[in-house]
Chain A
Amino acid sequence: MYLPWANSVSLRLVLSLTLLCLAACGPKVPDLVKYASLPDERICRIAVLPFVNETDYPLADTIAYRVFMAELVQTGRFDLAQEGDVREAFRHMRIWPGQQPRIEQIKILGDRLRVGLIITGTVVEMAEVPMAGAVNPVIALSLRIVDPGSGETLWHTYHRRDGEHYRKVMHFGILNTATSLADQVYREVLDLWFKKGLKGCAD
């Protein structure tokens, strides 16, 4: 049946606007909240503190932490404090696994590790949802950039994604593992941070 109005510009405009509204209705992630400005000077050396796991996924904190460290190293913009140095400082200060350091402990860590910024993270959600012979991984993270001089949070980012989000056509594009999903999520967070003003040594 021939519908002369089906190809009209106005119909296409209405459909585009509808899609735009639908996209705008969902939560905007990664979400960045800036509590204060980052230091003016370039930050070369940063420390990432062990993440906290708020999920039932075993060792989600370690997995998320290692993948995040890998992604940070890949940017080539920072000198990262060794995880071993961070854990040793935690041990000296009796900060137990799963605990977040207090403000005064953050200051000690900053000085001991000689870093200009500290990043802390919480794995809010990590799961692999079974789906007809496959899994759809889900990950939600909360990351904070902290000023080691004052111990205060400067920036906070929340991001959540599942593997299906990246589907392009048919099964292409889907991320099928928690590791690859975490890697992609961190890339998006870091892209946002750099776009919003985080500078490293090489910038």
Chain B
Amino acid sequence: MAEKIAVFPIEDLSQGPNGVDFALTEYLEKDLDARGLEVASQEAVISFMARNRIRWLGFLNTYHILQVRKELGADLILLGTVSQRSEEPSAAFGMVLYLIRTDDARTVWSQARGLSCNDIRHVLGIAEPRSAEDLWPIAVQDILENWPKDMGLNRDQDAVSEIAEVDLGRRYVSSGKKVTCNLRLRSIEEGDRPEVTLRVRGKGHLRMKHKGGNLYQASWTASATEGSYPVSLILYRPSGKHKVAFLGIYHVDNSPPVLALGIRGLRLHGAVAFRDRILIIPRLLEQEPVSRWGFSVQDEQGKTIVHERREGNLPKCFVWQGRTDDGVRVDDGNYQIVIKVWDQAQNMAVVSERLALMHNPPDMVLEAKTRGQGLVLDIRNKGRVPIAFWHMEIWDDDGNLIKTAEGETLPAEVDVALPESTVECVLTAKDILGNQFRKEIKDLKLLVSQENVEGTATEEWSMEF
């Protein structure tokens, strides 16, 4: 009796991931028919694909291969893929064919062939192929010349084909949490319903409950001991045979992530001081996957002014620019950043750090006293942030620069010999956070006389530059 073969529609990758070439499929069917094989009709094959929801071409799983044998009565399946088809710059065609034996779902033969117009040269160019349409029949015939004569007799079918879907739930859980396994088996005949049990870490036999149809479910409590827990499935058939399959692994994790913060800034009075932006770098000291994280900033009253929460891994850094969630700039003062991280088992780690936002200019004081024929200018910093540098220029009425002085520390004294005319003084300074200060005094002598008389100075303020 002739062997029966089912030719599945040939996949054509030149048309995209799921392209199909029905002309080539029909050509193969005719050729195999001519070789004495009984060929299942294309309608029957397509109907089979629709019934079994086979949406992809070029491959089948063991279950479907066995179903082809059962539903179509086919001893063999031919699958094929057109790997390339092009016309420019020279026509080319490539394909692969696989022959599968259905009683043991084994691929018994296959061939690949690529052909280009440049591969075929005839004398005087007579009857040379010019296009992919000319090439593919030649390529197919080349392949089919090696059609196997003997299909072999190995009948063992190994893969666990009964499992249609399996879901072990979350990969990471903490102790005491429920672990649930849902399983859907392929269509089972009445009288052949297996007993389905699970083994966790090689121990115990947890019988799965039948939830109707082909659905099974089992739940258990995660152990108190941290570690990996492999889960295996055992199918006991009424015939007495059983099959074991490894379903997956879940992990029991009770330890929160180990989190540290790296903040670049100047530490002043127990807080990290900054002027307009601060870079916060979170670091997991032990690398592990992160499920979600939260970042918040609280003011001195404990009110949350910035809050962000996201799923997924921690970002490499956070930047706070001294503004609320609405973009409003906050006042100078002390704040607290809090970062929370949850691992895959929902264990939480929290770290926090105090920040000091200081974006006001330095609080500088300039006093003048007479000394002999000249003046002594006393410069002091009343603020909390140390000065990085200061610079003073003294000009006369004619615009001549009388004196300059500068330094990196305060308090400082500057001696000035006073001319007869008006003397202007400009003092600039910058603190170590970058806040800037500028003060212009139109007449230094007035500063002296006002201080001597009233103990206060008249200053002319100018805008920060």
Contact = CB atoms under 8 A, between A and B. Distances in A.
Interface of A: 45, 58-59, 62-63, 66-67, 69-71, 73-74, 79-85, 87-88, 92-93, 104, 107-108, 111-114, 128, 130, 133-135, 171, 174-183
Contacts of B249: 104, 108
A80 B86 CA distance: 31
A179 B160 contact: no
A179 B116 CA distance: 10
Interface in B46-78: 56, 58-62, 64-65
Contacts of B112: 66-67, 70-71, 179-180, 182-183
Contact of A84 (B59, B118, B154): B59
Interface SS of chain A: helix
B246 A112 contact: yes
B94 A82 contact: no
B83 A171 contact: no
Interface in B88-132: 89-90, 92-98, 100, 105-116, 118-119, 121
A137 B283 CA distance: 47
Contacts of A176: 90, 92, 114, 116, 118-119
Contact of A180 (B56, B59, B115): B115
A161 B59 CA distance: 28
Given A87-B59, A135-B89, A135-B92, A92 B166 contact: yes
Given A73-B110, A92-B165, A112-B160, A66 B60 contact: no
Nearest to B109: A73
Contacts of B166: 92
Contacts of A178: 83-84, 94, 114
A111 B81 contact: no
Interface in B15-56: 16-17, 56
5 contacts: A63-B13, A67-B96, A70-B98, A87-B56, A179-B114
Contact of B111 (A70, A130, A134, A171): A70
B161 interface: yes
Nearest to A78: B107
Interface residues of B, number: 54
Contacts of B60: 82, 84
B65 A133 contact: no
Given A70-B111, A92-B166, A108-B247, A133 B94 contact: no
Given A59-B13, A84-B64, A135 B90 contact: yes
A134 B94 contact: no
Contacts of A74: 110-111
B107 A177 contact: no
A56 B331 CA distance: 53
A128 B121 CA distance: 21
B13 A112 contact: no
Contact of A82 (B97, B108, B109, B159): B159
Contacts of A67: 83, 96, 112
B248 interface: yes
A133 B87 CA distance: 11
Interface of B: 13, 16-17, 56, 58-62, 64-65, 81, 83-84, 86, 89-90, 92-98, 100, 105-116, 118-119, 121, 154, 158-161, 163, 165-166, 228, 245-249
Contacts of A134: 89-90, 116, 118
A38 B245 CA distance: 24
A133 B96 contact: no
A183 to B, nearest CB: 5
Contact of B114 (A79, A111, A183): A183
A58 B222 CA distance: 45
Contacts of A79: 106, 154, 158
A164 B328 CA distance: 67
Contact of A45 (B56, B110, B158, B245): B158
A45 B157 CA distance: 11
Nearest to B81: A66
The 8 tightest CB contacts between A and B, nearest first, are A179-B94, A179-B114, A84-B61, A177-B114, A180-B114, A176-B116, A111-B246, A83-B59
A130 B118 CA distance: 13
Contacts of A175: 114
A12 B248 CA distance: 65
Contacts of A73: 98, 107-110
A114 B245 CA distance: 9
B107 A179 contact: no
A114 B13 CA distance: 30
A157 B119 CA distance: 29
B245 A111 contact: yes
A130 B16 CA distance: 22
Contact of B84 (A92, A104, A179): A179
B62 A181 contact: no
Contact of A113 (B13, B95, B154, B159): B159
A80 B154 CA distance: 13
A188 B462 CA distance: 81
Contacts of B110: 69-70, 73-74
A59 B96 CA distance: 14
A21 B380 CA distance: 79
A85 B118 contact: no
A16 to B, nearest CB: 33
A162 to B, nearest CB: 14
Given A67-B112, A70-B96, A180-B114, A81 B159 contact: yes
Nearest to B64: A84
A157 to B, nearest CB: 19
